[in-house]
């Protein structure tokens, strides 16, 4: 049996650095998206945003992105 990678999951990093996403959100899977870059592009089309936190970019679902940064 051979295992093949089936894609990448991108999950919400939560509204603050010490708080998890209350919805446990993840970008909805699309059949053609395989790389992290493709999945993040799908998420942006669905309202996901990036925010800089602790000198790195974090992924935020639409609900967490609407909350003020802490």
Tokens of 37: 């870059």
Cα angle 29, 16, 59 (rounded to 5 degrees) comes to 25
Average pLDDT, the chain: 87
Number of domains present in the structure of the chain? 1
Segment 56-65 mean pLDDT = 94
Tokens of 14: 């939560």
Q: Which domain holds residue 10?
A: 1-70
For tokens 């609407």, the residue is: 66
pLDDT at site 29: 77
* pTM higher than the cut 0.75: yes
| Statement: residue 17 has pLDDT above 80 | yes
């Amino acid at each position: 049996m051979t295992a093949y990678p089936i894609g990448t999951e991108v999950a919400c990093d939560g509204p603050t650095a010490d708080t998890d996403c209350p919805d446990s959100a993840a970008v909805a899977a699309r059949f053609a998206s395989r790389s992290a870059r493709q999945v993040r592009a799908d998420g942006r089309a669905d309202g996901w945003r990036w925010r800089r936190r602790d000198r790195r970019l974090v992924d935020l679902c639409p609900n967490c992105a609407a909350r003020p940064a802490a």
